[in-house]
Amino acid sequence: MKVWLDDDMVSKERQTPKGWVRALTYDDAIRFLTTGEVAEISLDHDIADFTHGREMTGADVARWIERKVYMEGFVPPIVNVHSANSVGRKNMDETIDLIKRVIRER
């Protein structure tokens, strides 16, 4: 399964690609990831998710993956970023690089 994390359902630019399933929130993304069936996930940074007492972002999903890889040996999917937020993109790319480093060092 391929997961597209993005809350923007209006813009043609941000439509869910064919063959992907949309996750609108942090919890949606984590729910998909915990199935073990996600082969690839693409992250938007700003997903307007305030369900955990603060704004949850695609970076939080990337950090969740990082923790699971480091602490539990989780085998992550391919992780991509499609966010237009340049600072958010940089932060997520750095986390993805850390995930790759942990995997290489196993």
- The tens digit of pLDDT for each residue in 15-33 reads 899 999 999 999 999 999 9
State the pLDDT at residue 14.
78
- The range of the structural domain enclosing residue 73 comes to 2-104
Please give the pLDDT value at position 21.
97
Q: What is the pTM of this model?
A: 0.94
CATH code: domain of residue 83: 3.40.50
Reference 32, options 54, 55, 10, 1; nearest CA is: 1
Per-residue pLDDT, 41: 98
CB environment 16-31: b (16+ within 10 A), e (fewer): beeebebbbbbebbbe
Which residue type sits at 55? E
Give me the number of domains the chain comprises.
1
Per-residue model confidence as pLDDT tens digits over 89-103: 999 999 999 999 999
pLDDT range class, residue 9, cuts 50, 70, 90: low
Q: What is the pLDDT of residues 29-84, one digit of tens each?
A: 999 999 999 999 999 999 999 999 999 999 999 999 999 999 999 999 999 999 99
